[in-house]
Structure 1
Amino acid sequence: MLTLLSVFAVMACTKKEKIIERQSTDTTVVAVPADSQMTVTDSITVSNTKDVQKLVNDQDRKFANAAAKGGMMEVMAGKLASQNATNSAVKKLGEMMVEDHTKANEELKQWASKTAYTLPTSLDKDQQKTYDDLKAKKGADFDRMYTDIMVKDHEKTIADFKQEVTDGSESSLKNFATKTLPTLDHHLMESKKVKDVVK
């Protein structure tokens, strides 16, 4: 059937057109002007969700989704801390979270773009509730809640990143996890220090 369609595609082309055939999981026939400089090596994007799914296993998907939502949470909460915290150490902690997690989020987005993987663009229900509760806090109560969240979140995030390094299948995503772990370890250490100051 595919061969027959290809023959029809060739017959349908005018003298001013040429055929470029590119092999992926399916044969894609593209008619382009005969005077075009386009070649088979030029980029012809064929969106194929099944191909994308083959690049990642269940662990990769679970990790990428959790890392995207967790990274968003860290930036959003960090911005609150830099604005609303009363303790200067908490403000600095928030600023560090915004800077470092913004960089990590961009790296994860670059990976997703290259692999045509769609990352979550919003927090999950529990994260949104935590953020809303934090936003409602004032003064020392805010400082205590923020540092408590940072310790708990980073303990979980570090475990997630370590699992990706061990069980992930997509090499670029595993490399991202490996590269980011030292920063997360530093965040956890600093969060514990600041939590002790404001408790």
Structure 2
Amino acid sequence: MKKSLLAIVCAVALTACKKNETTTNEMSTDSLEMNMPADTAMIQDSMAVSGDTTQSGTLNDQDRTFAMEAAKSGMMEVMHGQLAATNGNNAKVKSFGEMMVRDHTKANDELKSLATAAGLTLPTTPDASQQRMHDDMKAKTGADFDRAFAEMMVSDHQKAVDLFKKHASQGSDAALKQFAEKTLPTLEQHLAQSKELRDAVK
């Protein structure tokens, strides 16, 4: 009888220990589950930040500055070219304007594609200063317009050549650097032709 009673006590004690162990494990699991969301959230946040970072993050300041300046310059050449093609008094001015529209539209489209691939949004409208310059040009007529246009083309293309030449040698992004190298000869040709145009309409 005593042995039976002892066996029952032992069984009860073992059951209690197992229950306590289970409770401890459950508490440990609960504790882990309670801590998991915060840790998981941190990891997810980190991944989200990494995923949301566009490829423009691979462009350094010089790459971004070049792309933005080249886009603004090219956009203005197209606008002024369109103006020269319609408002030019001299046939050479009209012809040069048409070339500006054709060549710079092509370069602008290529630059836009590269910028889009890098997650960089380029300007699509002139800034206040550029708009004033365009309005001033638009107000001119006849020989006055021709001379002002030719002078602007020399000045603009000298700046563009300097910009593209610098990026062709110092740029970091391979695609933008290649674009600068490929476009530079055309800009240098434009610069030479704009100087000839300036002399022709003096």
TM over 0.5: yes
Q: Which residue of 2 aligns with 1:191?
A: 194
- The residue type paired with residue 52 of structure 1 is S
Q: CA deviation at 1:52?
A: 2.2
1:172 and 1:2 mapped to 2: Cα distance?
41
Match of 1:4 in 2: 40
Which residue of structure 2 lines up, in the alignment, with residue 91 of structure 1?
94
Once the two structures are superposed, the pairs formed by residues 123-162 of structure 1 within 5 Å of their partners are 123-162=126-165
Q: Which residue of the partner structure matches residue 52 of structure 1?
A: 56
Q: Which residue of 2 aligns with 1:38?
A: none
Unmatched 5+ stretches in structure 2:
1-36
Deviation, 1:2, is 7.8
Deviations for 1:139-191, whole angstroms, at most 9, x for unmatched residues?
A: 00000000000000000010000111122110000000000001001101111
Structure possessing the higher radius of gyration over alpha carbons: 2
User: Residues of 1 paired with 2:52 and 2:145: CA distance?
Assistant: 46
Q: Once structures 1 and 2 are overlaid, which stretch shifts more, 94-103 or 165-174?
A: 165-174
How many Å apart are 1:104 and its aligned residue?
Answer: 0.1
Figure out how many residues of one structure are paired with residues of the other and give that number: 164
Q: CA deviation at 1:116?
A: 1.1
Following the alignment from structure 1 to structure 2, what is the Cα–Cα distance between the partners of residues 197 and 173? 35
Alpha-carbon spacing, 1:181–1:4, altered in 2? closer, same or farther (3 Å)? same
Residue of structure 1 in register with 2:103 after alignment:
100
Structure in which a larger fraction of residues adopt helix: 2
- Structure (1/2) with the larger strand percentage: 1
- 1:72 is the counterpart of 2:93: no
- Structure 2 counterpart of 1:149, which letter? M
The equivalent residue for 2:113 is 110
**TM-score normalised per structure 1:** 0.76
- Listed as ranges, the matches of 1:158-169 within 5 Å are 158-169=161-172
Give the deviation of 1:125 after TM superposition.
2.3
Q: Which amino acid aligns with 1:129?
A: R
Look up the equivalent residue of 2:164 and give its one-letter code. F
The residue that corresponds to 2:180 in the other structure is 177
Encode CA deviations 1:32-85: one digit per residue, 9 max, x unaligned: xxxxxxxxxxxxxx5424x522x1111111111100110110000000000000
TM-score by length of 2: 0.75
Q: Over aligned residues, Cα RMSD in angstroms?
A: 2.2
Q: Which contiguous aligned blocks of 4+ residues in structure 1 show a shift greater than 6 angstroms?
A: none
